[in-house]
């Protein structure tokens, strides 16, 4: 069944604030100032709703990367940030969050223009999420604690005084993807600053606009020069240079598992500390007791939110065989809510995909699935549009575990729906993947909920909800979905080293 082709994809005008941001001269934010690149190369900003080029930004050279790292190194080594009273650092971070809040509408619009997500979604989720993340992380600056006394265990009491200091790691290189550009940038910067580190951040080449605006706002926050440096450019050049740089102490990356593995190998040469938040193929399990009218729209949201371009997207649906047909029917019905529209269309819930490349990748997977024998329950095609990278919400059924649409991260609005018989079987199916980022369980049966939550190999398990991410809760992946945890206390501690001090008395 295909219900949503030939949707009228109207384009909407940009605001004056957005036009101003798009008209800015391509520059880099290094040592608290806007500076020209040492090279002349630029990259294009493309609005995925129209496919049109709307601005340009710097493609940083090796020299630019080196300058940014040198600025972060100086800012760390002279203690202008880490030696400040923690409450002062905390205050500056709260101020930054307040400045973001004052620019919320503009930031949401820029995110919509750059990434293609509906402005309403960016305004409801990305921007408040980023603001909340800064407020939450700021609090740790004064709560993390510095030193803890621990009595030695092997010597008589009173002969030694020993304690453990918690210190910032140093300079952090942070590389983020295009699916939640501002939120990801802040999710990286905030815990690093809280811990006392300094930062060089590289946004994804598809989405640099909000990171550049964030630099302007950091300038206004009182955070000293050089503490946050933001450079734009290509991953395989500027990103790679950052990861290899001898003056970088820690690398934090969010993106594809493929690039994550390269980064991990490169960073290992100099034993840099590494945090990786990578891909997923998250299962969503519907048990027989749930009302299909609740499970249908709930599990549709789990995949179609942000056009399925979410690392935790619920891209494998498992419904118990006794309710499979009714869940599927309600899911397909709910798909019309996610009909793609231009990102500035106030009626939109789902926008286009981020790029031509991503469009071709997703359509390629759908074709592979069809060729391998999958049937299309809804979607499976692109709506007619003049430019733009729209894909209709798609449900594939009659799939087999070995198909690429079941095994690989598609990162688009595509779900594969399968049946199961009992809890052990579905736990096995759900875990039959190289990924382990997240999972969803829909049931009111408490015992089954907790049993399954224990069995699933995933960093986050949701019950009767999905994509519910909170700054206080550690986030990260099992298996090839990542290394380490972000957010919560663990997320700040990941930017620190422990030092034991033992003094003979």
Mind telling me the catalytic residues? 277, 311
Question: Does the protein bind ligand NAP through residue 204 (CB under 6 A)?
Answer: yes
Helix, strand, coil percentages, rounded to 5, for the chain: 40, 20, 40
Q: Are 171 and 72 in contact (CB under 8 A)?
A: yes
d(CA 173, CA 214) in angstroms, rounded, equals 17
Question: Does the protein bind ligand NAP through residue 263 (CB under 6 A)?
Answer: yes
One residue of 198, 229, 254, 496 binding ligand NAP per CB under 6 A: 254
One residue of 259, 274, 363, 377 binding ligand NAP per CB under 6 A: 259
When the beta carbons of 361 and 455 are compared against ligand NAP, the nearer one is 361
Structure-block tokens of residue 480: 């090839």
Q: Are 245 and 65 in contact (CB under 8 A)?
A: yes
CB of 261 to ligand NAP, least distance (A): 10
d(CA 84, CA 282) in angstroms, rounded, equals 42
When the beta carbons of 69 and 449 are compared against ligand NAP, the nearer one is 69
When the beta carbons of 175 and 287 are compared against ligand NAP, the nearer one is 175
CB of 242 to ligand NAP, least distance (A): 7
One residue of 255, 292, 388, 393 binding ligand NAP per CB under 6 A: 255
Could you tell me if residue 490 is left (phi over 0), alpha (psi between -120 and 50 degrees) or otherwise beta? alpha
Secondary structure (H, E, C), 325-392? HHHHHHHHHHHHHHCECCCCCCCCCECCCCCHHHHHHHHHHHHHHHHCCCEEEECCCCCCCCCCCCCC
- Report which of 482, 474, 186 is spatially closest to residue 311, judged by C-alpha positions: 482
Q: How many CB atoms are closer than 10 A to CB 379?
A: 28
CB of 319 to ligand NAP, least distance (A): 25
Strands 438-442, 460-463: pairing kind: parallel
One residue of 11, 27, 38, 256 binding ligand NAP per CB under 6 A: 256
One residue of 42, 225, 234, 445 binding ligand NAP per CB under 6 A: 234
Task: Give how many residues touch ligand NAP by CB under 6 A.
Answer: 27
Question: Does the protein bind ligand NAP through residue 368 (CB under 6 A)?
Answer: no
> Which phi and psi (to 5°) does residue 335 adopt?
-60, -25
Question: Does the protein bind ligand NAP through residue 239 (CB under 6 A)?
Answer: yes
CB of 279 to ligand NAP, least distance (A): 5
Which residue's CB atom is positioned nearest to ligand NAP?
235
When the beta carbons of 236 and 400 are compared against ligand NAP, the nearer one is 236
CA atoms lying within 13 Å on the CB side of residue 474: 16
Question: Does the protein bind ligand NAP through residue 282 (CB under 6 A)?
Answer: no
When the beta carbons of 148 and 357 are compared against ligand NAP, the nearer one is 357
When the beta carbons of 221 and 315 are compared against ligand NAP, the nearer one is 315
Question: Does the protein bind ligand NAP through residue 41 (CB under 6 A)?
Answer: no
When the beta carbons of 290 and 382 are compared against ligand NAP, the nearer one is 382
CB of 81 to ligand NAP, least distance (A): 24
Q: Are 149 and 162 in contact (CB under 8 A)?
A: yes
Question: Does the protein bind ligand NAP through residue 97 (CB under 6 A)?
Answer: no
Question: Does the protein bind ligand NAP through residue 178 (CB under 6 A)?
Answer: yes
CB of 175 to ligand NAP, least distance (A): 5
d(CA 208, CA 191) in angstroms, rounded, equals 21
Q: What's the DSSP call for residue 434? A: S
When the beta carbons of 327 and 350 are compared against ligand NAP, the nearer one is 350
**Which residue do the tokens 């118990």 mark?**
320
Question: Does the protein bind ligand NAP through residue 109 (CB under 6 A)?
Answer: no
As a dihedral over the C-alpha atoms of residue 426, residue 428, residue 433, residue 435, rounded to 10 degrees, the angle is: 80
CB of 152 to ligand NAP, least distance (A): 43
User: What is the x/- site pattern for ligand NAP, positions 67-86, by CB under 6 A?
Assistant: --------------------
> Which phi and psi (to 5°) does residue 453 adopt?
-55, -35
Is the four-CA dihedral 85, 249, 497, 265 of positive or negative sign?
positive
Which window, 55-63, 73-81, 131-139, 169-177, contacts ligand NAP (CB under 6 A)? 169-177
In terms of C-beta density within 10 A (0-12 exposed, 13-18 middle, 19 or more buried), how is residue 384 classed?
Answer: exposed
Q: Are 193 and 144 in contact (CB under 8 A)?
A: no
Q: Among residue numbers 383 through 412, which ones bind ligand NAP (CB under 6 A)?
A: 409, 411
One residue of 9, 187, 311, 397 binding ligand NAP per CB under 6 A: 311
When the beta carbons of 202 and 245 are compared against ligand NAP, the nearer one is 202
Question: Does the protein bind ligand NAP through residue 485 (CB under 6 A)?
Answer: no
d(CA 501, CA 147) in angstroms, rounded, equals 10
One residue of 179, 307, 394, 496 binding ligand NAP per CB under 6 A: 179
Interacting residue ranges for ligand NAP, rule: CB under 6 A: 175-179, 202, 204-205, 234-236, 239-240, 243, 254-256, 259, 262-263, 278-279, 311, 358, 361, 409, 411
């Amino acid at each position: 069944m295909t219900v949503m082709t030939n949707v009228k994809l109207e384009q909407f005008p940009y605001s004056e604030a957005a036009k101003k941001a798009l008209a800015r001269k391509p520059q880099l934010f290094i040592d608290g100032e806007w500076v020209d690149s040492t090279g002349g190369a630029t990259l294009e900003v493309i609005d995925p709703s129209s496919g049109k080029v709307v601005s340009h930004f710097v493609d940083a050279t090796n020299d630019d990367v080196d300058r940014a790292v040198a600025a972060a190194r100086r800012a760390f080594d002279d203690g202008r940030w880490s030696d400040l009273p923690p409450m002062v650092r905390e205050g500056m971070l709260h101020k930054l969050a307040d400045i973001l809040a004052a620019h919320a509408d503009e930031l949401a619009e820029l995110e919509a223009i750059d990434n293609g997500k509906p402005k309403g979604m960016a305004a409801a989720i990305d921007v408040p999420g980023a603001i909340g993340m800064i407020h939450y992380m700021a609090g740790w600056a004064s709560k993390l604690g510095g030193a803890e006394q621990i009595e030695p265990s092997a010597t008589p009491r009173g002969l030694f005084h020993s304690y453990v200091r918690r210190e910032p790691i140093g300079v952090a290189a942070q590389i983020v993807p295009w699916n939640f550009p501002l939120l990801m940038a802040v999710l990286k910067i905030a815990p690093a600053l809280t811990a006392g580190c300094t930062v060089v951040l590289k946004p994804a080449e598809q989405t640099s606009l909000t990171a550049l605006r964030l630099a302007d706002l950091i300038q206004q926050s009182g955070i000293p020069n050089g503490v946050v440096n933001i450079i734009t450019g290509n991953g395989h050049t500027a990103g790679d240079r950052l990861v290899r740089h001898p003056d970088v102490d820690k690398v934090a990356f969010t993106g594809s598992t493929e690039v994550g593995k390269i980064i991990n190998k490169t960073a290992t040469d100099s034993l840099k500390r590494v945090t990786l938040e990578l891909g997923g193929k998250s299962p969503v399990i519907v048990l027989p007791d749930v009302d299909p009218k609740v499970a249908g729209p709930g599990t549709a949201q789990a995949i179609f939110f942000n056009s399925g371009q979410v690392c935790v997207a619920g891209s494998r649906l498992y419904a118990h065989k006794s309710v499979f047909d009714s869940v599927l029917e309600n899911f397909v019905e709910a798909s019309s809510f996610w009909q793609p529209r231009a990102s500035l269309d106030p009626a939109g819930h789902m926008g286009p995909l981020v790029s031509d490349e991503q469009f071709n990748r997703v359509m390629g997977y759908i074709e592979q699935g069809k060729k391998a024998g999958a049937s299309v329950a809804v979607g499976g095609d692109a709506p007619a549009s003049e430019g733009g990278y729209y894909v209709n919400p798609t449900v594939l059924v009659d799939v087999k575990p070995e198909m690429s649409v079941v095994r690989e991260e598609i990162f688009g609005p595509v779900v594969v729906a399968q049946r199961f018989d009992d809890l052990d079987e579905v736990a096995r199916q759900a875990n039959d993947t190289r990924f382990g980022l997240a999972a969803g369980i829909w049931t009111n049966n408490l015992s089954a909920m907790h049993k399954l939550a224990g069995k699933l190999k995933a960093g986050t398990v949701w019950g009767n909800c999905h994509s519910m991410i909170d700054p206080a809760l550690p986030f990260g992946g099992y298996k090839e979905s990542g290394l380490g945890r972000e957010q919560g206390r663990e997320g700040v501690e990941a930017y620190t080293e422990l030092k034991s001090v033992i003094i003979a008395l």
